[in-house]
């Protein structure tokens, strides 16, 4: 396994019903999901899905209702067992874990954030955030110290003694996020985590997740049906349809090189000016420039620099005034690459 891959999903099939083996034989024979349901009464959840997820990246899995995205994410922590296939984490097959190994994996390696918060209504915010450590038998003083730290990280310092009913939906989801992070897991699974929130709160939670990710560098698998959300937070995006993986790639791959008519239709309503970010079109500086430091790169006045997170809508006026290229800096002001006008025009279909 490549050292860059934290998770590998290999040839996963999931069939719900009395005779999954027969259903898989029909799948391999070319039968569709609807045909298999009609002929056998079995429901195809996933059809030969394979993907590799890099460590420290946000990998978004998306699709419409019934596409299999929530079924797939539940294979990562074996809440659902596949009919066939492999789930590898750090090169180990999770499906071969003993009961004790699986328990350790779920408590220490992977955490999950659900759509409907899943908080205990009769426990305080502090107790909810510390719940995972309590299950592990961690002392009260230690678990509360860690819970307070993570509540502060998600912007909830000062509400530790409140109860979930006293919090807004966005605040409740922050508690759920703190609870998932308190074990300091390598992998964070987020199943439609922000979809129940109002648009403004949802956008704030997306921003906070990105800010946290800069510090934490977790491997995050994020489920959504919202393409704008996927484009905003995803390093890579996978699109499912009827249990099949239709396309996966970077946001720019999905937007500019759709695999088929379904993906074209899926992305048809996207406002490219707002959705495409500088980071999606970034050209890395030549290795010789990186080795020599910023001084070896063309010197660009700060007024003609753009930031990784900016949308094309924000940078287009400046780009149209430039000769062809803008320097791109990260949040610390370090040169990380360039934005070329021809790339932008191609991304906007011009």
Report yes or no: 36 and 83 within 8 Å, Cβ to Cβ. Answer: no
Quickly tell me which residue has 């659902």 as its tokens.
Answer: 80
Give the contacts of 333 (CB within 8 A, at least 6 positions apart). none
Quickly tell me which residue has 């491997």 as its tokens.
Answer: 219
> Rounded to 5 degrees, what angle do the CA atoms 118, 119, 125 make?
155
Average pLDDT, the chain: 88
What spatial distance separates the first Cα and last Cα of the chain, rounded to whole Å? 41
Edge-to-edge order in the sheet of strand 92-93: 43-54, 5-16, 84-89, 92-93
DSSP-assigned letter for residue 279: G
Local structure of 52: helix, strand or coil: strand
Candidates 40, 59, 51; CA nearest to 85 is: 51
- pLDDT at residue 350, as a whole number: 64
Report yes or no: 106 and 94 within 8 Å, Cβ to Cβ. Answer: no
Q: Of the given ranges (43-47, 51-55, 142-146, 285-289), which has the lowest mean pLDDT?
A: 285-289
Q: What is the pLDDT of residues 120-164, one digit of tens each?
A: 999 999 999 999 899 889 999 999 999 999 999 999 999 999 999
Candidates 189, 278, 190, 193; CA nearest to 231 is: 278
For the chain, domain boundaries: 55-73+98-275, 278-347
**pLDDT grade, residue 1 (50/70/90)?**
very low
How far is residue 273's CA from residue 165's CA, in Å, rounded to a whole number? 39
| DSSP bridge pairs for 52 | 8
CA 243 to each of CA 74, 139, 298: distance values in angstroms, whole numbers, following the listed order: 14, 43, 48
Fold of 278-347: CBS domain Like (3.90.1280)
> Rounded to 5 degrees, what angle do the CA atoms 78, 84, 88 make?
50
User: Is the pLDDT assigned to residue 296 strictly greater than 70?
Assistant: no
Tell me the mean pLDDT in the region 157-185.
Answer: 92
Report yes or no: 151 and 157 within 8 Å, Cβ to Cβ. Answer: yes
Q: Write down the pTM of the prediction.
A: 0.85
Tell me the mean pLDDT in the region 64-73.
Answer: 93
Report yes or no: 122 and 142 within 8 Å, Cβ to Cβ. Answer: no
Tell me the mean pLDDT in the region 178-199.
Answer: 91
**Cα within 13 Å of Cα(207), Cβ side:** 10
How far is residue 114's CA from residue 258's CA, in Å, rounded to a whole number? 30
Query: What CATH number has the domain spanning 55-73+98-275?
Result: 3.40.50.300
Quickly tell me which residue has 């499906």 as its tokens.
Answer: 95
């Amino acid at each position: 396994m490549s050292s860059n891959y934290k998770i590998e999903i290999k040839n996963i099939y999931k069939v719900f019903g009395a005779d999954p083996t027969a259903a898989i034989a029909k799948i391999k024979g070319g039968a569709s999901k609807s045909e298999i349901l009609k002929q056998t009464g079995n429901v195809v959840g996933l059809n030969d899905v394979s993907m590799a997820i890099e460590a420290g990246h946000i990998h978004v899995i998306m699709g419409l209702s019934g596409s299999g995205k929530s079924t797939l994410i539940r294979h990562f922590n074996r809440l659902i067992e596949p009919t066939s296939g492999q789930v590898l984490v750090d090169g180990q097959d999770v499906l071969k874990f003993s009961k004790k190994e699986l328990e350790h994996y779920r408590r220490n390696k992977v955490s999950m954030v659900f759509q409907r918060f899943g908080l205990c209504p009769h426990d305080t915010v502090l107790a909810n955030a510390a719940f995972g450590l309590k299950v592990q038998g961690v002392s009260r003083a230690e678990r509360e110290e860690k819970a307070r730290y993570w509540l502060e990280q998600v912007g909830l310092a000062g509400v530790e003694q409140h109860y979930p009913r006293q919090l807004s939906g966005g605040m409740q989801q922050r508690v759920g996020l703190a609870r998932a992070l308190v074990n300091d897991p390598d992998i964070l699974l987020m199943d439609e985590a922000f979809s129940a929130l109002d648009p403004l709160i949802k956008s704030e939670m997306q921003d906070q997740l990105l800010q946290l990710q800069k510090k934490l560098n977790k491997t995050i698998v994020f489920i959504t049906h919202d393409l704008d959300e996927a484009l905003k937070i995803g390093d890579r995006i996978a699109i499912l349809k009827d249990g099949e993986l239709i396309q996966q790639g970077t946001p720019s791959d999905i937007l500019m090189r759709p695999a088929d008519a379904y993906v074209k239709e899926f992305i048809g309503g996207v406002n490219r000016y707002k959705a495409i970010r500088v980071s999606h079109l970034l050209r890395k500086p030549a290795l010789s420039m990186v080795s020599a430091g910023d001084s070896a790169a063309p010197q660009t006045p700060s007024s003609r620099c753009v930031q990784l997170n900016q949308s094309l809508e924000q940078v287009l006026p400046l780009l149209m005034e430039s000769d062809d290229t803008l320097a791109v800096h990260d949040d610390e002001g370090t040169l990380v690459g360039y934005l070329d006008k021809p790339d932008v025009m191609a991304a906007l279909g011009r």
